[in-house]
Chains A and B, each alone.
Chain A
Amino acid sequence: MTTPVTDTPGVPDAKVAVPVISASHLDLTFQTADGPVHALSDITLDIAKGAFVSFIGPSGCGKTTFLRCMAALETPTGGALSINGMPPDEARRARAYGYVFQAAGLYPWRDIGRNVALPLEIMGYSKAEQRERVARVLDLVELSAFENKFPWQLSGGMQQRASIARALAFDADILLMDEPFGALDEIVRDRLNEELLRLWDKTHKTIAFVTHSIPEAVYLSTHIVVMSPRPGRISDVIESPLPRERPLDIRDTPEFIEIAHRVREGLRAGYQE
């Protein structure tokens, strides 16, 4: 397995690492029929290599928009944004990130293996390499036994795992996840959260993760970015003191509850303004 070298694997404090995602005074205004909508306002944030950053906030706070800016799916109207030291669109063309959407979006006409191979086919990997990589990432998300099954034969949670495998297949250092577990029930979500942490630990990816759920954000992240709407902005950045190893019952510890409380306070403050 070839994983990119991170500075200090296993150490949760990512402050010393180089920022892979860097935004300064980022602005984005959509021109709509009802007049301009200020989606992002003065966003300044550095995300270090190997960090797991969650974006949490109410609808319309711009968290998804910010993620889409990183992916060059939206173009900011002001400020600067760099991904791996490149402008986002260049980073996109360099295939610097894998993107996971809220819906798995697997092709019904391809089996799971071929779905995961889709980006590899497009990027021109050889057949042998495709097979090797598909096997590896399916193993990573524990779907090896389902390589030849079709999406409709899998549960929603399994489909989402397959879509994560698809995003991992081409070894981008950055994983952008837009509410990937938002449509799943809580039990499945817990399990996938646990798996995602293990995956992050194994692969040393930098993950930007958009969510609605406070427990999910606190459980997963090294950094929690609390955002508030109209205009979309960052109201708090919380660095989690939780260890890198996180069993599910860490959610009952006082530290966990305290961070969750702080996130909730931050969200409330954003609403009151």
Chain B
Amino acid sequence: MTDATAPTGKPRRKAGARWRVPPLPGMILGLIAVWYLAVIPMNVQETLTAAERAGAEVSPPSAVERRDMGAWALVARNPGELGQSWSLDRPRLPSPHQVLVELYDSTIDEELNGRRGLLRSGSLSNRGLAHHALVTLNATFLGFLIGTGLGILLAIGIVHSRVMDMSVMPWAIVSQTIPIVALAPMIIVVLYSVGIQGLLPKAVISAYLSFFPVVVGMVKGLRSPDAMQMDLMRTYNAPTAAILWKLRLPASVPYLFASLKIAIAASLVGAIVGELPVQKGGLGARMLAGSYYGQTAQIWAALFVAAALAATLVWAIGAAERRTLRKMGMAA
């Protein structure tokens, strides 16, 4: 205590400050470490089988017996035979470097050296992640546009009509309680039966997820002008349309952007889910194919691309938000 209160003028260095790691890289490093550790018990069955095939002594020697044992127990009984954990061909949980290699192989390497790659065929390889990401992105954007447009229209209706307020909102909420994975195949089948396939069904699923946050946010935003602002419009004897265009819509822009950030991420999820039953390209199709053929690294690589896409999209909306609000004099 005497040290801390001493008027030395210099702030005392905290104990261990020398070892301080910046928060974000620190967290990432921590996660990677956990991941590497988790690989051992997750893959222990396959690791021991591989070790047995290579002629090592494994305990217990019976595969059937091993199957019924806990992962940690196997790890504890075979500490010397776990070297293969991080380099299995078909791991249950691929290790981070395997995912990175898969990412490299299915993007840069595929486009540069693949038979169907960008360099040789002049177009993105349909085996590469870039192609699949673009397919997903297309559906995401179309779904996002449909969902946002629908959301804004519904919100305008809800704000202006008591009947719509009472009737639409409950259905909008109910619509979001149905698991999209259950609904997606039905949407695709129904649309297929009326001759619609390809991009649109995926976009519809994507819109189904993304309209909801827009409705909720826009209803709040359109209602955000206070009583005084509404009174002022009344003293001008302003028609409803003028109130909408000149007051409600501009006032709702900050709410819209908050909703759009959620909506774009939801659109991406919708597009991926929509690709699962169709299997005509896209990150969703890629993930499912990976799971069919036990290519977990492929699933994880697609997963990372999807996450990176989502982060980029949300960031882009955030950038547009900052620009717009600054221009409108509403920057927080």
Which A residues contact B (CB, under 8 angstroms)? Answer: 71-73, 92-93, 95, 97-99, 101, 103, 105, 107-109, 118-119, 121-123, 150-152
* Residue B6 interfacial (CB < 8 Å): no
Contact call B328/A123, Cβ cutoff below 8 A: no
CB-CB under 8 A from A92, the residues of chain B are 234-235, 237
**A105 close to B228 (CB less than 8 A):** yes
User: Chain A contacts of B231 at CB under 8 A?
Assistant: 71, 73, 99, 101
- Residue interface bits B224-244, CB-to-A below 8 A is 1, else 0: 000011011111111100100
Give A123 to B246 CA distance when docked, in angstroms: 13
The 7 closest A-B pairs by CB, nearest first: A109-B328, A99-B235, A108-B329, A150-B329, A122-B238, A119-B236, A122-B242
The answer to whether A71 touches B329 (Cβ under 8 A) is no
For A108, give its contact among B232, B234, B236, B330 (CB under 8 Å): B330
Quick check: A122 and B228 within 8 Å, CB to CB? Answer: no
Q: Could you say which residues of chain B place their CB within 8 Å of the CB of A150?
A: 329
Partner of B235, one of A97, A108, A109, A151: A97
> For residue A151, which residues in chain B have a CB less than 8 angstroms away from its CB?
329
Contact B250 A107 (CB under 8 A): yes
Assess whether A73 is in contact with B329, with CB atoms less than 8 Å apart: no
Q: Nearest B residue to A121 by beta-carbon distance?
A: B246
**Which residues on B sit within 8 Å (CB–CB) of A95?**
236-237
Q: Given B229, B238, B250, which contacts A105 in the complex, CB threshold below 8 Å?
A: B229
Q: What residues of chain A lie closer than 8 Å to B247, measured between beta carbons?
A: 107
Minimum CB distance partner of A153 in chain B: B329
CA A73 to CA B237, docked complex, whole Å: 11
* Chain B minimum-CB-distance residue to A166: B232
- Assess A101 versus B228: contact at CB under 8 Å? Given A108-B330, A118-B246: yes
Q: Which residues does chain A contribute within 8 Å of B232, judged by CB atoms? A: 99, 101, 105
Chain A residues in 8 Å Cβ range of B328:
108-109
Q: How far is the CB of A175 from chain B (nearest CB, A)?
A: 11
Complexed CA–CA distance, A152 and B331 (Å): 11
Instruction: Give Cα distance in the complex from A257 to B329, angstroms.
Output: 45
A226 to B229 CA separation, bound complex (whole angstroms): 28
Complex contact A73–B246 (CB within 8 A): no
Q: How far is the CB of A241 from chain B (nearest CB, A)?
A: 33
Q: Which residues of A contact B250 (CB under 8 A)?
A: 107, 109
- Of the candidates A101, A105, A152, the one whose C-beta lies within 8 Å of that of B329 is A152
Minimal beta-carbon separation of B243 from chain A (angstroms): 9
In this complex, the member of B231, B234, B236, B242 whose beta carbon has the largest number of chain A beta carbons within 10 angstroms is B236
Give the Cβ gap from B228 to chain A, nearest Cβ, in Å.
Answer: 5
CB of A93 within 8 A of CB of B228, answer: no
B231 and chain A: residue at smallest CB distance = A73
Assess the B236–A109 pair: CB atoms within 8 A: no
Q: B149-186, CB under 8 A of A: which get 1 and which 0? A: 00000000000000000000000000000000000000
